[in-house]
Amino acid sequence: MLGFAPDLSCCMECGKEDGDFSLTVKGGLICAGCGDFNSKSMTQECLHVLRYIQGAPLGKLYHFKMDEALFQEVSQMTGNYFRNFVTQKFKSLDILG
């Protein structure tokens, strides 16, 4: 909605769609073959959830479940990505986390 959504379709460098990826501050995914991962690569489950969240209608986002470890990974990936683009601190985000 704000235009900060990353490109989760494929690696930004080579176009690879499957494999080990990391979410970059450049605005999308980078695969293990194209990038030197400064941070931990995301699991396939995390990438699947992020792709679902990005493409699902807003009303569907409250109708799926994930385990705590996956929730923490998704939260970490989205939080890190968000903080790179939005420098203002939002009190409402403190309530959620």
14 forms bridges with which residues in the sheet? none
Q: Where are the domains of the chain?
A: 1-72
Q: What is the reported pLDDT for 38?
A: 60
- Classify residue 52 by its DSSP letter: H
Of 22, 76, 74, whose CA–CA distance to 49 is shortest?
74
How many CB atoms lie under 10 A from the CB of residue 23? 24
Q: Confidence class of residue 92 from pLDDT cuts 50, 70 and 90?
A: low
pTM of the predicted model as reported, rounded to 2 decimal places: 0.79
Question: Which is more confident, 25 or 42?
Answer: 42
Cα-Cα end-to-end distance for the chain: 21
pLDDT in tens, 28-80: 899 988 887 665 788 999 999 999 988 888 888 888 889 999 999 998 888 88
